[in-house]
Amino acid sequence: MDPADTRAQVDFLVQALGLRPGDRVLDLACGDGRHTLELRRRGIAAVGVDRDPRLLEEARRRAAELGLEGLWLEADLYRLGVLGPSARFTAAFQLFGPFGKQGDASWDLALLQGVAGLLEEGGRYVFDCVNRDWMLAHFDPWGRWQAGETLCQEERRLDRRRGWLFTRTRRVWPDGRCEEWEDRVRLYRPEDLGPLLRRAGLSLQGLWGDFDFRPAGPSSLRLLAVAARWTGG
């Protein structure tokens, strides 16, 4: 990932979440920690969470290289209660992560409820998902892209009635090694998110189509949602 893209994405997070130095922020599905570390560099107490110990080890290595402190937790995002009843954060976010990836809205609801339980009163949460309207209009059964030094190829199938995207992805390294996996992604329309968030104890505060704060619409591949812990009323 281009470091400039990471900085632009963190610029968005800082503004959308209203972050200030010293705030405790949870980076869900943090991967190798690129967002966590950029937030740490800006004086924000970001904590990275991921279920893959290999990625967390890479995050620790990168933190050491940059001379940054970091806290990395191994946890399943659908079981965030393991972080403990006293864990509270100013804000949380999940970018390019698992939201929608289980194919069933009940999994997404469980994830949102877990996040709501970790936020302070009024705490904000940013997450992204694939825009169903865009996918229905621009569906391509094949995809091919470069990810760092690896080549990724993807075969796709779209269930238009249920709004599910089925993918089979193959990732190839320069030395010939390859990895294959399958996903089923639930696609959301903008109007789907507000009711789902309310069921989780969150309220939708804003919806954007990209990290430059352009409004979400049919031309937006991804939806960037900003939610807040709902306190009733």
E strand segments, 161-221: 164-172, 178-186, 202-208
Q: Supply the DSSP symbol for 214.
A: P
Q: For 117-156, what is each residue's pLDDT tens digit?
A: 999 999 999 999 999 999 999 999 999 988 778 899 999 9
Copy the structure tokens of residue 135: 């996918």
State the pLDDT at residue 231: 65
Which residue in 217, 206, 163, 159 sits closest to 188, CA to CA?
Answer: 163
Measuring CA to CA, how many Å separate 214 from each of 17, 92, 206, 217, 221? 16, 21, 11, 9, 12
Residues paired with 188 in a beta bridge: 131
- Sequence-distant (6+) residues with CB within 8 A of 51 are 74, 75, 76, 77
Model pTM above 0.75: yes
At 83, the pLDDT band (50, 70, 90 cuts) reads: confident
Nearest to 108 by CA among 187, 20, 11, 206: 187
Q: What angle do CA 73, 79, 80 make, to 5 degrees?
A: 50
Q: What domains does the chain contain, in order, with CATH numbers? A: 3-131+188-229 (3.40.50.150), 134-186 (2.20.25)
Which H or E element spans position 61?
A: helix 53-66
- Note whether 201 and 122 are within 8 A (CB): no
For residue 188, the 8-state DSSP code is B
pLDDT, one tens digit per residue, over 41-73 is 999 999 999 999 988 999 999 999 989 887 898
